Chain A
Amino acid sequence: MTAATDTAPIAATMSPRQYRTIKALDIGGLIATIVTVLGGICWAFPLYWGVITTLKPEEDVVKPGFQPWPEHFTLDAYTHVIFGTRIGQWYVNSLVTAISVTIIVVIISALAGYSISQLKFPGRRLLWWMILASFMIPVPALIVNHFVLMSQFHLINTWLGVILPQLVYGPVTVIIYKQFFDSVPKEFREAAKIDGANEFQLFFRLYLPMNWGITTALAIITFIGAWNQFLWPFLVATEEPMFNVTVGITQVTDAFGVKYARDLGSAMLAGLPVAIVYLIFQRRVTQAIMLTAGIKG
């Protein structure tokens, strides 16, 4: 097995058969690329179709035939939701609660994941198994207990009441952090310890910085999950100003009847902000994730 280390053309160092194989691979590669790009387009089609439908008037939506581009553009599907409801306040609530959940979960999960991964202490095994177990419990099972608990703390219809139970919705964060901290080479730790670093410095100066990529990814995943919550925020909010967006849009329809576009429109408004944030930051995110993997290599 020889690796070509010089800059001479590869073709010069291999047999005709090998060269033909490589050329054939390129065609195969081309096909792979085309298939992937086409696949992406097909995959994104439903999103496109959803957005386009919200820009058509309701009569056009139920007209026979395939209209890939609206004949008449209209924002009717959105106007009532935007101007006739408190959606601004709901966005604020969603933002506050989702960001709070994200920050708190990421911090305590990183700390816990680090401890389970790197530190030895009594009860470590037990804690790990309990976290794994909690991942397997369905959320609706605990909702009523959470409600009673929050009412005992007088936190019904408050931001804190919305935030607190959601902190245990995502034990997967701890699990992933533990795996990633596990794979940081031990030499770094030993070396730092020789230099006299204590655990706090190890965590903040070494392990966490080496894992910004997965932190970013986990933050995004947690944020998306918290933003899209419905059942718990619905139960705990008793007044409209405390709704978050997913709860608020369920009672936004300005009429019954045929309302495909308006239903989709209000649903889009609930999901769009996160999509926009993702699109803005996505190169950062994907690079960060892939970069992290690279560091390990």
Chain B
Amino acid sequence: MFNNGRIAVIRNIVRAALLSSALLTVGVGGALAEDTIVWWDFLGGGDGVRMKALIDQFNTEHKGQVQIQATTLDWGTPFYTKVQTSTAVGQGPDVMTYHESRIPLGITTGALSVITPEEQAASGIKSSDFEPANWKQAQGPDGKQYAIPLDIHSIILYYNKDELKKAGLLGDDGKPKGLDGAANFDAALAALAKTGVTPLSIPTADGATMWRIFYTLFNQQNGAQFLSADNKFLDGDANIADATKALTEMNSWVKNGYTPAKTEYPASIALFTSGKAAMHINGVWEVPTMVDLQKKGQLFDWGAIQIPVFYDHAATWADSHSFAIPDRKGNEVPAAKRKEVLDMIHWFNEHSLSWAGGGHLPAFAPVRSSDDFKNLKPNSDYSSLAATAVFDPVSTLAGVASPVYDAAGNYLMPGMNGEMDPADAISQMQSDLQGQVQ
């Protein structure tokens, strides 16, 4: 009969599925002495290419001992959701990449496991090898370590040497001069505008970029603190004033016509690479874009430096890709595997020079102070920012694709583009974020 036949087919399918999933959980390498590290990351684009090369190198060097089996997933909320749901039911990888800015939320949702000092020492991982701020960002409120940094990535100022020279803004060393200090920067923009070029292109339609630039300018002011120790956002009049100052400065660029309003991310890059804009503020991850274009002979003489000091001291927004070991409920990563993973993390840190080719700054100090890195252009031009990098506020509301980033889209973006008065935007953002604190 029709129905019985279908039941039998279904039974077979279920059996096959159970068998195949059993095989998958056991791991194909069961018969060999070789171990497998299951790895999840969210690195697409040029980052993905570079990481795959590093993984291949690792696998070649460790053939017969341990192999990485890597899967790349969609960046942002989908990745973190998947990690959370998988670990909650005892699934998930042995190691994963994780934005340091997301660690607070990761700890609260129970996705991350503690990496003990003993484990670190056993694999040669030392806190002294990393910038203090970078290392601390990977810790929880209990002071325990939940991740090991791989890189520091930030925003930088890309510039067109020819255009800057025309406006008299290029020093003899090929680096821009006269950009430090908000008044000087504005004057420089005016000088560039006079030569007929668009002075500065920024992804003004992108909330994430708004956040990064705002956070940079905000933290360059003495005493500015976005999130206080008792979980208050922009606490006090001084902080509000600092924030308003930063946003007003950003808005002035659009108001004076130096920066086109509401420009989408790819369009803002195209404006720079086509020579229409003299300067461009964006993340370090676009360095390979420029490098590749120049190799093809399609780009002018360009350079990149740390964001100038507008106010009291140097500071640049930064986030950090780090490695974390998930806390799989009921199916924890066994101790032996953890050791392999931590050894692997140490290996990646030691070999992070090629990762720097993606524009990032290696978090591992020995690599950053090596001669090879010092000769790496343009990274060495802006590696100074690592010392004064400011990381996202430590809060479950902060981090990639978080309410803070949403608030940037809701308030900072209209504030910069002239749709909202900067003072209004800041006060609304403050009350919005404060209202979401649980």
Enumerate chain A interface residues (CB-CB to B < 8 A).
59, 62, 144, 147-148, 151-152, 154-161, 200, 231, 234-235, 238-240, 247, 250-260
Asked whether, in the complex, the Cβ of A160 is within 8 Å of the Cβ of B82, the reply is no
Known: A251-B73, A255-B292. A238 touches B91 (CB 8 A): yes
Closest to B287 in A: A256
Contact of A160 among B14, B75, B274, B293 (CB under 8 A): B14
Can you name 25 A-B residue pairings with CB atoms under 8 Å?
A144-B85, A154-B21, A156-B91, A158-B17, A158-B24, A159-B17, A161-B17, A234-B73, A234-B82, A235-B81, A238-B91, A238-B92, A240-B72, A250-B74, A251-B44, A251-B75, A254-B46, A255-B46, A255-B288, A255-B289, A256-B288, A257-B289, A257-B293, A258-B273, A259-B266
The answer for the CA separation of A200 and B1 in the assembled complex, in Å, is 11
Asked whether, in the complex, the Cβ of B266 is within 8 Å of the Cβ of A260, the reply is yes
Enumerate chain B interface residues (CB-CB to A < 8 A).
2, 13-14, 17-18, 20-22, 24, 40, 42, 44-49, 69, 71-75, 78, 81-82, 85-86, 89-93, 266-267, 269-270, 273-274, 285-286, 288-289, 292-293, 298
- Since A62-B270, A158-B17, A252-B44 are in contact, a sample of 11 more A-B pairs with Cβ atoms closer than 8 Å, ordered by chain A residue number, is A151-B89, A156-B91, A160-B13, A161-B17, A238-B91, A238-B92, A240-B72, A251-B48, A255-B46, A258-B273, A258-B289
Known: A62-B274, A258-B266. A151 touches B91 (CB 8 A): yes
The answer for the CA separation of A234 and B292 in the assembled complex, in Å, is 32
A-chain residues with CB within 8 Å of residue B48 when the two chains form the complex = 251, 253-254
Known: A147-B85, A151-B89. A253 touches B45 (CB 8 A): yes
Contact of A148 among B14, B18, B89 (CB under 8 A): B89
A-chain residues with CB within 8 Å of residue B47 when the two chains form the complex = 256
Known: A160-B14, A253-B44. A239 touches B49 (CB 8 A): no
A-chain residues with CB within 8 Å of residue B71 when the two chains form the complex = 238-240
Known: A151-B89, A254-B49, A256-B46. A157 touches B269 (CB 8 A): no
Asked whether, in the complex, the Cβ of A258 is within 8 Å of the Cβ of B49, the reply is no
Contact of B45 among A154, A157, A255, A260 (CB under 8 A): A255
Asked whether, in the complex, the Cβ of A234 is within 8 Å of the Cβ of B74, the reply is yes
Contact of A247 among B74, B267, B289 (CB under 8 A): B74
Asked whether, in the complex, the Cβ of A158 is within 8 Å of the Cβ of B20, the reply is yes
B-chain residues with CB within 8 Å of residue A254 when the two chains form the complex = 45-46, 48-49
Asked whether, in the complex, the Cβ of A238 is within 8 Å of the Cβ of B74, the reply is no
Which of A59, A251, A252 has the most chain B CB atoms inside 10 A of its CB? A251
The answer for the CA separation of A148 and B40 in the assembled complex, in Å, is 20
Asked whether, in the complex, the Cβ of B85 is within 8 Å of the Cβ of A256, the reply is no
B-chain residues with CB within 8 Å of residue A144 when the two chains form the complex = 85
The answer for the CA separation of A159 and B19 in the assembled complex, in Å, is 12
The answer for the CA separation of A251 and B48 in the assembled complex, in Å, is 8
CB distance from B36 to the nearest CB of A (A): 11
Known: A240-B71, A251-B72, A253-B48. A160 touches B270 (CB 8 A): no
The answer for the CA separation of A31 and B21 in the assembled complex, in Å, is 61
The answer for the CA separation of A71 and B210 in the assembled complex, in Å, is 36
B-chain residues with CB within 8 Å of residue A257 when the two chains form the complex = 46, 266, 269, 273, 286, 288-289, 292-293
The answer for the CA separation of A234 and B86 in the assembled complex, in Å, is 12
The answer for the CA separation of A200 and B2 in the assembled complex, in Å, is 10
B-chain residues with CB within 8 Å of residue A253 when the two chains form the complex = 44-45, 48
Known: A234-B74, A255-B45. A160 touches B289 (CB 8 A): no
CB distance from A67 to the nearest CB of B (A): 15
